[in-house]
Structure 1
Amino acid sequence: MTPILIFDLETIPDVEGLRLLNGWSPDVPDAEVVERAFAARREAVGHDFLPLHLQKIAVVGCAFRDNDGFRVRCIGGPDDSEAMRISGFFKTIERYTPQLVSWNGSGFDLPVLHYRGLIHGVAAPRYWDMGEDDRDFRYSNYISRYHQRHVDLMDLLAKYNGRANAPLDQLAKLCGFPGKLGMDGSQVYTAWTDGRANEVRAYCETDVVNTWLVYCRFRLMRGVLTREQYDDEIALVRNTLAAIDEPHWREYLAAWPDAGQPAP
């Protein structure tokens, strides 16, 4: 089978970038830098969600499905550099040329990876190939919106209509899967600065699994998977997570009392 890489990012404000662009002194504490930026953003646009190029990548969560099975993890450790996380993501693409699957990856995760990779000088030739090096990429590449090397499942299910987008958490729960547990994206920065990096990483991993489960349901709907194959994929995920001795997976499985079967 073609390897499949499911991915999700968690981000925090780029404090040093904000200092540089605003000319703020190094003596200004990080917390004040962020609050100033949030306040300016709220005044300008009515919310404090920073522009994508100022979203520093704290976590890259990935699940990988290939002939060897299903694995889920974060790239690197909590103390590794942002550049290392970005490089690790693109190196996976260089090595395996996987199909990418995301939820809102076209609207958020990939543009953030583009900007932050540019800032750090990360090379990603396979990812950016649009047919110059590999003719197959002319008609199926990672960049073009309607190509299948990257499936933004949120975008696709909404028929590329932003007004029809659905939240992953709600859709996963409606399909019988656990959805988000104990945290959402708005809490990531506070948790990270409070020293709870492992909680943020765990949250990102569970979101990746939610995306994969909903994607499996989509493949069943499309007819790519038979009902038996779908059941096997769901069982593989459950068995893989049950074999990992981590609190967040025990909590996740406890919130998933059945296999998330389609309604009759």
Structure 2
Amino acid sequence: MWESDALFELAAEPADTETFAALAQRPLGELVAPDWAGALAGVEDQLRSVLSFLAAEVAAGHPVLPPPSCVLRAFRQPMAAVKVLLVGQDPYPTPGHAVGLSFAVDVSTRPLPRSLINIYRELEADLGIPPRTHGDLSAWAGQGVLLLNRVMSVRAGAAGSHRGKGWEDITTAAITALADRRGPDGAGLPLVAVLWGKDAESVRPLLPGVPAVASAHPSPLSASRGFFGSRPFSRVNELLREQGSSGVTWELPPVP
């Protein structure tokens, strides 16, 4: 039986009537959790520039994913509570899929993305947890798993279309801030990085001294080349316990 083990609840989502243009004008402290606002203050101008770019995309008739209410969702999770950093590439480009958390989709999305199906397959092989029929990973986020895409938006139907538009500076600042919490002797707050694929591996230099679980990406094109059999979930929990932290309850609720 699944039991909730969340340390906190994610903040409520802003109204769906929000626009990227409006987001670009709001104070940073209204867009992200207070401690993230401090960590991202140095790239606030870049963030506003990216949000303005997204507004321009929409104005030009190019749908953007995820919607404004979700684009900064990962940063509404308090930074102080993060103990696992799971790095994704960019959001799913299929309309209705992207929800602002890497690899996750809305609870009603069917069929599930194939990468997520492969994640569930490995979760079952690793910990014996049966795959869920939904793709809502917010229960992981609620335990301090930061589901962070390296690039946090995409033009609908065009994977990778928002690379090089400024998100990399913002997520670099975020990842660096997480690593800095550990201090030079690694005795600070616990942190484990999960790096699936070459894009995720590229952030390793930003995480000096942070233990990492790395493998091939779970996409159908690469999962059989090192993702399957990598046992990431049990390895993350082992590394957390070595740092004096509790592990993550990876079992998701049958119906969120």
Give the TM-score category using the shorter length: under 0.3
Q: Which has the bigger relative contact order, CA under 8 A and spacing at least 6?
A: 2
**Which is helix-richer, 1 or 2?**
1
